[in-house]
């Protein structure tokens, strides 16, 4: 594990909530993963129920570790609101009209963390291990770079070995392990692992 680096001075990224990027929810890209073609597009206000369905169908092990309860329509409504305010950018993946995954970039409201973005990716069980998680992660990287962020952060529990492998393969490094930092749906505490990817390498200066 590496400790927190201090003393870095960077050009400030555009502040969350003031993105200059015109984000279209209408355009749809097609990507090929294995022998399947997926439609990718940005989150729309009408997607609430599909997200609830996607989350509700996740295996119990994944539900245990969901950061927020996306099986709750009110929670998803909040997500959609975050998209309107520019603090969350979500790309959805559909297969034959069904929502099968998403990748999300969440910005921090805090000024001193305005250079950070948190990545979340969820893929329906039947569509895993064919590269879709990788594709959605790349979309998050693109958005983060366009916004001028300097660091991407991924949070998971110590038990989420698959997620850890995915992010390691993408170049993320372990940053911290926080004891009993999260509590799962059964009330059991878990250690949280934070991994990060430095988007702003070369922009730092130490003084
Ligand atoms: C983690 C998750 C998003 C991966 O999605 P996916 O579509 O299966 O991932 P990909 O097929 O793009 O795989 C990406 C890489 O990770 C590897 N990988 C994927 N799942 C893995 C697993 N369970 N164990 C080991 N490696 C794994 C793949 O082999 C691939 O490596 P490669 O590029 O060298 O071939 C998916 O398993 C998921 O939704 N898990 C539940 C939610 C979660 O844990 N999200 C991450 C925390 S935000």
Q: What is the pLDDT of residues 62-88, one digit of tens each?
A: 887 788 889 999 999 998 898 888 899
**Is 160 a pocket residue for ligand 1 (Cβ < 6 Å)?**
yes
49, pLDDT greater than 90: yes
Q: Which of 138, 172, 121 is nearest to 31 (CA)?
A: 138
**Is 77 a pocket residue for ligand 1 (Cβ < 6 Å)?**
no
What's the CA gap between 113 and 97, in Å, rounded? Answer: 37
CB atoms < 10 A from the CB of 187, how many? 6
H/E element holding 98?
Answer: strand 98-107
Top mutation candidate among 129, 161, 197 for ligand 1, by most atoms within 8 Å of CB: 129
CATH number corresponding to 29-198: 3.40.630.30
- The side-by-side arrangement of strands in the sheet containing 173-183 is 29-33, 36-42, 88-95, 98-107, 116-123, 151-157, 189-198, 173-183
pLDDT band at 201 (very low <50, low <70, confident <90, very high): low
> What pairs with residue 32 in β-bridges?
37
**Is 105 a pocket residue for ligand 1 (Cβ < 6 Å)?**
no
Smallest CA separation from ligand 1 atom 10, residue: 131
pTM for the model stands at 0.85
- pLDDT above 70 coverage of the chain, percent: 85
**Is 120 a pocket residue for ligand 1 (Cβ < 6 Å)?**
yes
Top mutation candidate among 88, 133, 169, 195 for ligand 1, by most atoms within 8 Å of CB: 133
Q: How many residues does the chain have?
A: 207
Q: Which of 156, 147, 146, 143 is nearest to 196 (CA)?
A: 156
> Of the given ranges (3-7, 46-50, 176-180, 202-206), which has the lowest mean pLDDT?
3-7
Alpha helices in 57-169 (DSSP H): 60-64, 73-85, 132-147, 161-169
What's the CA gap between 176 and 204, in Å, rounded? Answer: 21
Calculate the average pLDDT of the chain: 85
In the chain, where are the structural domains located?
29-198
What are the tokens at 187?
A: 């009330």
């Amino acid at each position: 594990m590496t400790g927190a680096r201090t003393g870095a001075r960077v050009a400030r990224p555009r502040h969350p909530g003031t993105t200059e990027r015109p984000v279209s929810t209408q355009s749809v890209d097609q990507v090929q993963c294995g022998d399947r073609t997926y439609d990718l597009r940005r989150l729309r206000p009408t997607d609430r129920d599909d997200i609830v369905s996607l989350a509700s169908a996740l295996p119990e092990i994944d539900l245990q570790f969901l950061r927020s309860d996306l099986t709750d329509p009110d929670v998803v409504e909040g997500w959609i609101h975050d998209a309107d305010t520019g603090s969350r950018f979500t790309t959805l993946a559909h297969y034959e009209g069904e929502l099968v995954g998403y990748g999300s970039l969440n910005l921090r409201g805090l000024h001193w963390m305005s250079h950070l973005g948190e990545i979340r990716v969820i893929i329906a069980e039947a569509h895993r291990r064919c590269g879709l998680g990788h594709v959605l992660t790349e979309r998050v990287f693109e958005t983060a770079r366009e916004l001028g962020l300097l660091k991407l952060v991924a949070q998971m529990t110590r038990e989420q070995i698959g997620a850890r492998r995915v992010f390691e393969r993408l170049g993320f490094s372990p940053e911290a392990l926080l004891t009993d930092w999260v509590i799962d749906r059964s009330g059991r505490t878990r250690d949280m692992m934070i991994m990060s990817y430095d988007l702003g390498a070369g922009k730092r200066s130490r003084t």
